[in-house]
């Protein structure tokens, strides 16, 4: 029997769903495109995957963690560019895809099946770079992931992560015929309801109702700050701005960003070795500065 690594039922359920999606072979479970053979071509290809957030950073001899990176190229390319690379994912099927590809290419990297919220099998301060793309959406407690990543990062290390944009994410599947209506309020922590849990790509259709969560921008930034990371970049972007038919995802992503991406660094001030499993402390109560008043509806409209 396979050991359970999921920290809760949400993790266990999403693991089953990702195993199912990977068996069906949807994009995100098959490395997309073919990187060039040359070293400089591989670097350009990886810089595109990382959206330039690691441009100019040398990988040779660095210790890199590709977090929840199963089914993608990034771990393989970090390794082929000289990094001592570890790939973590909760889905054994997602890991197996990269393992097969690495074996075919003769690329060496380490594989670990773990829940991103419990990296206990990895030691503290073991990595110089943690790259974590498009998967915080599958856990309710982003702060717990950020705490774990801070622990495994060495002083001076860099964490780059992206997830669904917390505003835009509320509007997919919500077209009324006249406009978009959010599926839930920005301020609740509940999962974002997935109305059509069948993933469809070309002729592949697979029913996989994953639990998905929008993480408020302030919560992501404040979790980094609370764990001693310094945020030095924040990007909001869509894969394409070409638009599409009214109500389509492409039309929405022309108006609003599909993804949010943050780069943070662990400075000497970080609490090295901390294994906090709790969320960030509550922010200080907001006190209005003297003379500040709530804008009236009229004032707001005029802005």
Residue with tokens 């330039």: 52
Determine, following the binding rule CB under 6 A, whether residue 94 of this chain makes contact with ligand SAM.
yes
Min dist CB 297 to ligand SAM, Å, is 40
Number of residues engaging ligand SAM in binding (CB under 6 A): 20
Residue with tokens 């829940």: 115
In order of 147, 275, 303, the CA distances from 271 in angstroms are 10, 9, 42
Residue 140: closest CA among 210, 197, 189, 183? 189
* Most distant pair of Cα atoms in the chain: their distance: 67
User: How is residue 143 written in tokens?
Assistant: 């702060």
**The one among 53, 54, 65, 70 contacting ligand SAM by CB under 6 A:** 70
Min dist CB 242 to ligand SAM, Å, is 21
- The interface region with ligand SAM, picked from 128-136, 176-184, 228-236, 270-278 by CB under 6 A, is 128-136
Query: Cα–Cα distance between 204 and 26 in angstroms, integer?
Result: 7
- φ and ψ at residue 132, rounded to 5 degrees: -145, 100
Min dist CB 1 to ligand SAM, Å, is 19
Determine, following the binding rule CB under 6 A, whether residue 72 of this chain makes contact with ligand SAM.
yes
Determine, following the binding rule CB under 6 A, whether residue 116 of this chain makes contact with ligand SAM.
yes
Determine, following the binding rule CB under 6 A, whether residue 135 of this chain makes contact with ligand SAM.
yes
Which residues in the 29-68 window bind ligand SAM by CB under 6 A?
A: 68
CB-nearer residue toward ligand SAM: 19 or 84: 19
Per DSSP (E only), the strands in 50-167 are: 63-67, 84-89, 110-113, 127-132, 153-164
Q: Which residues bind ligand SAM (CB under 6 A)?
A: 11, 14, 18, 28, 68-72, 89-91, 94, 115-116, 133-135, 138-139
């Amino acid at each position: 029997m396979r050991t359970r690594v999921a920290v809760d039922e949400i993790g266990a359920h999403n693991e089953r769903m990702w195993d199912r999606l990977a068996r069906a072979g949807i994009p995100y479970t098959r490395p997309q495109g073919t990187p060039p053979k040359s070293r400089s071509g591989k670097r350009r290809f990886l810089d595109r995957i990382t959206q330039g957030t690691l441009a100019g950073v040398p990988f040779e001899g660095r210790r890199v963690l590709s977090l929840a990176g199963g089914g993608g190229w990034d771990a393989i390319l970090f390794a082929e560019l000289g990094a001592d690379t570890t790939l973590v994912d909760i889905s054994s099927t997602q890991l197996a895809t990269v393992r097969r590809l690495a074996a075919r290419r003769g690329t060496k990297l380490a594989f670990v099946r773990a829940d991103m919220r419990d990296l206990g099998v990895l030691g503290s301060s073991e990595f110089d770079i943690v790259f974590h793309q498009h998967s915080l959406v599958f856990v309710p407690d982003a702060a717990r992931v950020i705490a774990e990543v801070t622990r495994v990062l060495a002083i001076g290390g860099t964490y780059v992560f992206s997830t669904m944009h917390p505003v835009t994410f509320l509007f997919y599947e919500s077209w009324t015929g006249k406009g978009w209506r959010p599926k839930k309020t920005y301020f609740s922590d509940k999962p974002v309801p997935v109305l059509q849990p069948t993933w469809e790509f070309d002729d592949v259709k697979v029913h996989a109702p994953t639990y998905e969560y929008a993480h408020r921008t302030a919560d992501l930034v404040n979790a980094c700050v609370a764990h001693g990371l310094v945020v030095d970049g924040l990007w909001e972007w869509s894969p394409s701005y070409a638009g599409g038919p009214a109500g389509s995802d492409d039309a929405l992503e022309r108006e609003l960003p599909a993804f949010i991406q943050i780069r943070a660094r662990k400075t000497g001030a970080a609490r090295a070795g901390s294994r906090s499993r709790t969320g960030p402390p509550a922010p200080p109560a907001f006190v209005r500065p003297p003379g500040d008043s709530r804008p009236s509806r009229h004032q707001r409209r005029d802005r």
